[in-house]
Structure 1
């Protein structure tokens, strides 16, 4: 028996216009009764065009023999950056017991993990957009207890479908190796194999042994990268018949951040993304006074951000550097701050009195996105989000929801799935895709050492 979808809130307004080329995606997937207006002060948009449905087989877990499948519906709510976009999931009349999350994204594919109330099994679902039409696929049960279900898993979209992959260290007596778990949309089955770590510099070996995956990113068209933001990236060419793992180190921490290496969460300080064959890296160094615990009105919470990039066959090179003392805040952002503060606080406010953390790099621009709030503020559920133009040195602030969010480890990431909705038809004729040509293969070889 199919369990019907329960009543849901009024849907967001229909989207009238072009979908954004990319979005900042909330990795917390909301339930059916979530008020989508909380996600952002800006108006999020959605329609039936962004909604996909599928059915989940629950016979092995159902209490009643009549329970066979549950209908699952996923809708994409989008807004242009710096506002935050997200997914809403409807799960029969059960709801979500442990919630749902975005595990990984690549191109037109998003890997979701959901746990339905009354059922303990966490399931993977893949939301894909093909020629403007979304679809939803349920993956078979993953190999249990073999890898963390969200932290070390990535998705890679390619011309024939997609691959979901997880990587775990497998110590051998005389060498280092990894176990690679793969699910392919072509075989619709999980498999695993032990693959080697190709020789790396002795100086990098300690980083490899202490590697702790922060996130998984796509590199080029055939590789996934398991990122440790303090140390570097473990690359694996997962589309190859004989995949291998290689290591690429990150730049050394900035002076005041060096003491945090390996002891503190790196997310407040660093981020990395890959666009085509180019890795983009950012690090933020925060001003430190004599007493870091002093939160008085004279405390300087300014910072300096430096971006670097690395192309195929090159070394890390600095791109831009920006300091809070050089940044101009837009008039509308000053108005937003003044409405949140007492008159005395507003008159004394400067950018050095704003706490900013967790730099996030955007796609196709020179912007940096950071969590921020006035000094000492604990406001929730609405916080502030800073969009920093690194090149032109100005900043815009917007309000957004920080519900279910860690201040030092924000749950949003850049995602390009929105651009694939633009490849729809008008009067029966397909629109020409505005996407850039696919980047050449990112070759994992000697030039990455």
Structure 2
């Protein structure tokens, strides 16, 4: 799978001067995409367009936020500019959460300038940006903070899950845009004795919205803790995720992002896992079946590593998961006529070129589509087995076992999975202004 643990990779990820990637202009006649793949970290750059909004930090500094939209497979991203604040005093901003037309953004000012602050961006014909008031219950991250837009379209609720010392004890800190203040609740946790015995606690990776006031904190290795955060006395329950696939057992103590993901849409929870596995050698014969041994039989053959993707789904009311679809890399068909321009040649040496196929790629960081008509499509970040500098984003239909789309992808400044977001539906995208720069 892809390796993001090197010092070189981390230096790019957390570089404060990391510049935005090239932004391809969209078709002026095309409608805004129904959803986008949103990069979890923003860039420090002075970019102005029809999505730009401004607010003041607690110290009185201007914070300017703009959205640069691209259709999937390209990744959309935010640009943040703080005029008058040296880049050395402003860490790279990050997206905490996004639901419908709201987005929460974290901006890190160095300690002398009040530290980390949070802003709420609202998309629309006239976009807005507001500073969230403190004191914050903790450092707010995408693994802890959930966002609930209210039915009137103007208000929202934020909920932060805080871990208490005792196992399976939590506190909820809830922010309401109506009162513009924080409150605290302690949910009653109803978790079975079997779950408590096998899982001392959970460590959330992301928060998903179930609707009707319910948020779910997702531990991608274990399960989902969910409750209605609008209730005066919330009751938290737990949904276990499918068991870790055999080929991923050795990775169960590391980050789950490269291997697993969860999404919720239209009353259904969808789960996907990518497993790296050793392909069986169909030509291999046991030595006791041979009468003669040649040198090739006496040497160890190199292992051929492949991968497969599998989905599961369930309604929140079900007591079980139902299997969706599974596809091995070598099973995924490629429509060569339509993808001839997308499938690049893979160079193995100075004078040796071979055609790229999916079995020549290692896949990771699965993302489930948000489109209603694309239930079985999974987006994957891929790396060539033979060329470390080449990476791609691909879309695979697991039901049909076919490649839907493929595009070269740069890992510069990139760390975790891109998050699917419906923010693009609400943005005022003016093609003539999209991505225009005001200078660095």
Give the TM-score taking structure 1 as reference length. 0.76
Aligned to 1:213: 204
Shift of 1:256: 2.4
1:411 & 1:342 partners in 2: Cα distance? 28
Aligned to 1:284: 274
Q: What are the Cα deviations for residues 4-46 of structure 1, in whole angstroms up to 9, with x where unaligned?
A: xxxx999986872311000000011011158xxxxxxxxxxxx
Residue 329 to residue 215, structure 1, CA distance change in 2 (3 Å): same
Residue 95 to residue 26, structure 1, CA distance change in 2 (3 Å): farther
- Which runs of no fewer than 5 residues in structure 2 stay unpaired? 1-18, 281-299, 431-440
**Equivalent pair of 2:51/2:429 in contact (CA under 8 Å):** no
- 3-state secondary structure, aligned to 1:203: helix
Aligned to 2:50: 49
Q: What are the Cα deviations for residues 86-109 of structure 1, in whole angstroms up to 9, with x where unaligned?
A: 111111221552210011111211
Residue among 365, 383, 397 paired with 2:391: 383
Q: What are the Cα deviations for residues 233-253 of structure 1, in whole angstroms up to 9, with x where unaligned?
A: 010211222222111111112
Matched, 1:301 2:305: yes
Residue 385 to residue 149, structure 1, CA distance change in 2 (3 Å): closer
- Which runs of no fewer than 5 residues in structure 1 stay unpaired? 1-7, 35-46, 59-68, 291-295, 425-449
1:153 & 1:165 partners in 2: Cα distance? 6
Residue 109 to residue 207, structure 1, CA distance change in 2 (3 Å): farther
Q: What are the Cα deviations for residues 365-393 of structure 1, in whole angstroms up to 9, with x where unaligned?
A: 221111112115332xx731121122222
The aligned length equals 380
1:111 & 1:150 partners in 2: Cα distance? 9
Shift of 1:147: 5.1
Shift of 1:232: 0.1
Range that drifts further, 351-360 or 391-400:
391-400
**Equivalent pair of 1:300/1:352 in contact (CA under 8 Å):** no
Residue among 239, 257, 262 paired with 1:272: 262
**Equivalent pair of 2:347/2:387 in contact (CA under 8 Å):** no
2:310 & 2:266 partners in 1: Cα distance? 21
Shift of 1:120: 4.6
Structure number with greater CO (CA < 8 Å, separation at least 6) is 2
Aligned to 2:94: 101
Shift of 1:338: 3.5
Q: What are the Cα deviations for residues 186-238 of structure 1, in whole angstroms up to 9, with x where unaligned?
A: 1111222222212x222211455231111111122311111111100010211
Q: What are the Cα deviations for residues 38-88 of structure 1, in whole angstroms up to 9, with x where unaligned?
A: xxxxxxxxx733121222230xxxxxxxxxx22221111111111111111
Shift of 1:271: 0.6
Residue among 150, 157, 163 paired with 1:163: 157
Residue among 8, 13, 20 paired with 2:33: 20
Residue 15 to residue 125, structure 1, CA distance change in 2 (3 Å): farther
1:259 & 1:383 partners in 2: Cα distance? 24
Aligned to 1:203: 194
Shift of 1:422: 7.2
**Equivalent pair of 1:183/1:189 in contact (CA under 8 Å):** yes
1:98 & 1:324 partners in 2: Cα distance? 39
Residue 25 to residue 176, structure 1, CA distance change in 2 (3 Å): closer
**Equivalent pair of 1:176/1:196 in contact (CA under 8 Å):** no
- 3-state secondary structure, aligned to 1:197: strand
Residue 349 to residue 297, structure 1, CA distance change in 2 (3 Å): farther
CA RMSD of aligned residues (A): 3.1
**Equivalent pair of 1:167/1:179 in contact (CA under 8 Å):** yes
Alignment of 1:31-46 (within 5 A): 31-32=44-45
Range that drifts further, 94-103 or 334-343:
334-343
Residue among 413, 419, 432 paired with 1:413: 419
